[in-house]
Amino acid sequence: MSDARFPDGFVWGAATAAYQVEGAVDADGRGQSIWDTFCRVPGAIAGGDTGDVACDHYHRYAEDIGLLAELGLGAYRFSIAWPRIQPDGSGAINQKGLDHYRRVVDELLTRNVVPYVTLYHWDLPQALQDKGGWPARATAYRFADYAAVVHEALGDVVQHWITLNEPKVSSHAGYGSGIHAPGIKDSVLRDRAVHHLLLAHGLSLQALRDGRHAAGQQVGLTLDVSPVAPASDSQADADAARRVDVDSHRLFLDPVLRGTYPIHLDAVEDGDLGLISAPIDFLGINYYRRILVQAGPTGDETVLPEGVPVTSVNWPVQPDGLREVLVDLQTTYPAIPPIYITENGAAYDDVPAEDGTVDDPQRVDYLHGHLSALRTAIAAGVDVRGYFVWTLLDNFEWAEGFAKRFGIVHVDYATQIRTPKTSAGWLGRVARANALPSGDRPA
């Protein structure tokens, strides 16, 4: 295999999340989610934006899947909206919701695009939040019930399942800092949410394996992981970096891959860690940036490195951090399963030209750099099976609203017109060749 090529069978795809793209929040019996509620809190979302319409992917999924296939990307990672399946988070099943996702999967298979289904991408039914949300242990069991319902409906044709996307964000941003739904700031509730999210993973993993399923079914979990380094040589900064790494990464990696927590959590009950650490078929890794930490007067602080370019969300662009993350994971967890990069991408201020085209050379450079780093990690022996760009479409970026664009396809939110950017064509050529272009610069 040449330095530019990826392994035979390497998966190339794009990722989205239900609340960020679907819209149609009142369609076909969908219930309310915590994000529907949070978007109504004054000042919670930039510009007062909501996901009520978003990219209207609920109605335009066939068009969007067609774009994906035409680009040459052979896989689509999307999430199921729990409130579409169980409007109240438990009990009655909304058949119209299941029928919708069956049509999505059928469209993908017709286009020879492989579905990778994420069961939870942060849109908890509001009815369950009203009963305590993720800090309540019962929510983990309700999630397993929901997972079983979806699996019964789609498990005969969907082979690849992801239980949770980034439980750290659900717990830390939702119940710790309060910058995401449901907007709670409580360290005790945050830690309970951490454990119950991971318990939900373990219980749903068991449910998916117990149900009828397609041959070759694989079930995994997606975590967001970054290299963490101290901002200086001081002991205080070194200690701060260790704390951040434990709180952001080891708190989730250790229970899943080792069956232990790096700190004490009061919510753990006998048997929980056995469920959480049951072997998974793959680990999804979302990578966006390195984290540089210093000890501040009121707590540990993330700082920007000097002289490093940043994206429009002020994240430093350091592609080698992806290689660093992957090599560290393999070294720290020797029994780690195969890995998929389930998200990687960048937000830039993409402006259409007068002729309607959207040239995004910064994103092309970003993707080229990160894929080069990924290829180096694979050459070093890390078992990476695929790469999903974040994201297919410009969309509702949570607390940032519609102000930040991560898509390889531009969306005019007023008209819903889709325009593939330069980066979309470039990534499609990489996927078709299963190799990076030759030379030092992206072609």
Instruction: From 335, 179, 171, 363, select the one nearest 252 (Cα to Cα).
Output: 171
Count the residues in the chain: 443
> And the tokens for 307?
């002289």
Residue with tokens 């390497």: 10
Mean pLDDT of 425-437: 98
Q: Given strand 299-303, what is the order of strands in its sheet?
A: 228-230, 291-296, 299-303
Residue 356: Cβ within 10 Å count: 10
**Lookup: tokens for 142:** 């309700």
What's 48's DSSP letter? G
Euclidean distance between CA atoms 261 and 250, whole angstroms: 8
Express as a percent the part of the chain with pLDDT over 90: 96
Return phi, psi of residue 343, to 5°.
-155, 140
Question: To the nearest 5 percent, what fractions of the chain are helix, strand and coil?
Answer: 40, 15, 40
Using CA atoms, how far apart are residues 26 and 81, in angstroms rounded to an integer?
12
> How confident is the model over 398-410, as a mean pLDDT?
98
Strand-pair partners of 223? 285
Active site residue 324: no
pLDDT greater than 50 at residue 16: yes
- Tell me what pLDDT residue 439 has: 61
Letter string b/e over residues 169-182, b meaning 16 or more CB atoms within 10 A of that residue's CB: bbbbbbbbebebbb
Tell me if the bond preceding 182 is cis, omega within 30° of 0. Answer: yes
Choosing from 343, 354, 397, 400, which is the catalytic residue? Answer: 343
The 3 state secondary structure assigned to 385-442 is: EEEEEECCECCCCHHHCCCCCCCCEEEECCCCEEEECHHHHHHHHHHHHCECCCCCCC
The percent of residues in the chain predicted with pLDDT above 70, rounded, is 98
- Contact between residue 225 and residue 168 where contact means Cβ atoms under 8 Å apart: no
pLDDT band at 214 (very low <50, low <70, confident <90, very high): confident
- Whether residue 213 has pLDDT greater than 90: no
Q: At what angle do helices 95-110 and 137-154 cross, to 10 degrees?
A: 50
User: For the segment 62-109, what is each residue's pLDDT rounded down to a tens digit?
Assistant: 999 999 999 999 999 999 999 999 999 999 999 999 999 999 999 999
Is 343 designated active site? yes
Axis-axis angle for helices 137-154, 187-210 (nearest 10): 30
State yes or no: pLDDT of 113 exceeds 60. yes
* pLDDT confidence bin for 443, thresholds 50/70/90: low
- Strand segments, DSSP code E, in 201-298 are 218-224, 228-230, 282-286, 291-296
Options 22, 166, 324, 397, the catalytic residue: 166
